[in-house]
Amino acid sequence: MGNDGGSIPTRRELVKEAARNPTASELKDKQKEHLAHRWSTCPVSQKPLIKPIVSDYSGDLYNKDAIIQFLLPAEASSVDKDEYEKFIQGRIKSLKDVVEVHFEEEYDEKANASKWICPITSKELGPNTKAVYLVPCGHAFSQEAINAMKSDSKCAQCATPYEERDIVPILPSTEKDKAFVIERFNTLKSVGLTHSLKKASGGKKRKANGEVKLQSASGTQAEPTEITVHREGKSKAKATTASQSATPRMADGIKNAATASLTARVLEEEAARKKRKQQSENISSLYTKKSEDNARRNTDFMTRGFSIPANARHQ
């Protein structure tokens, strides 16, 4: 750009096009590209979406093992909970706040991979098709299929009845759908229900024999005993220990066998990862660091291995 026999370019030569706002088609293509990424990648772990897949009330899709990692205590999890929380933003506090989404799969010979389809219309579910899932069963369909089956109000896969409010859009992109999921969440919260239509933690849980078990706000007991209150007003303490269960339990308990198995696998992977890290540190401690080795070489062979005290007198 000077002193080399060349010329200095002007701004007009460098800036070929003036700044402008993107067109509607460009915005649409960018939104579709973003949706394609969200349909294939877990937003918190940044890993490809693989079954089992869960969704919160906002319609976002996650790998279930990533959510279990997030919900595990800090000492048992290796993930950066702060980074996960930046996206989750308090929407998931227990497994009650998510629903496992069941996608129908079909093998695509051209792409040499499986794809998710609507079991009714056989359309591929993705950024090009508006898709929904039903609560509480979690089966996914295209919006077109659900509109055609509204008169039935039963899941076409498992015949589970559902209400119109429990048709949750997957990755909603319109303002109408976003407002719908927020309104649904507020309605369920007002009646003490979570996204999965289970009772929210912190309330009173009535037993079949008329007893009421008091739970803390987090869904766990603050003490190693649980207090059972009877209708007559009397109370009795029943000792409980965590060792009674053979499978690891989350804060609100894991009753589903598949979820318990997945949690156990996650815990085993974490234990193996910590063990490998400890072994690596132990092996590293066997070798001399480079700085220490250089300092040792600079010493005289007569004094190598020990140091002469500063106050030593010459005899």
Query: In which order are the strands placed within the sheet that holds 53-55?
Result: 61-63, 53-55, 99-101
Buried b (16+ CB within 10 A) or exposed e, 141-151: bbbbbbeeeee
Residue pair 173/30 in contact (Cβ under 8 Å)? The answer is no
Along the 315 residues of the chain, how does pLDDT read in single tens digits? 555 667 788 877 777 776 778 888 888 888 889 999 999 999 999 999 999 999 999 999 999 999 999 999 888 777 888 999 999 999 999 999 999 999 999 998 888 889 999 999 999 999 999 999 999 999 999 999 999 987 788 999 999 999 999 999 999 989 999 999 999 999 999 999 999 999 998 655 444 444 444 343 334 443 333 333 343 444 444 444 443 444 444 444 455 666 667 777 777 777 777 777 776 776 666 665 555 555 555 555 555 555 556 565 554
For the chain, strand residue ranges (E) read 53-55, 61-63, 99-101, 104-108, 113-117, 131-134, 140-142, 167-169, 204-206, 212-214, 225-229, 235-239
| Upper half-sphere CA count for residue 182 (Cβ side, 13 Å) | 7
In the chain, what are the domain boundaries? 38-190
pTM of the full structure:
0.63
* Domain 38-190 CATH class label: alpha beta
pLDDT at 230: 41
pLDDT at 309: 60
In the structure encoding, which two tokens stand for residue 206, read together?
A: 């009535």
Residue pair 196/96 in contact (Cβ under 8 Å)? The answer is yes
Rounded Cα–Cα distance for residues 28 and 22 (Å): 10
Handedness of CA 230, 235, 238, 240 (dihedral sign): positive
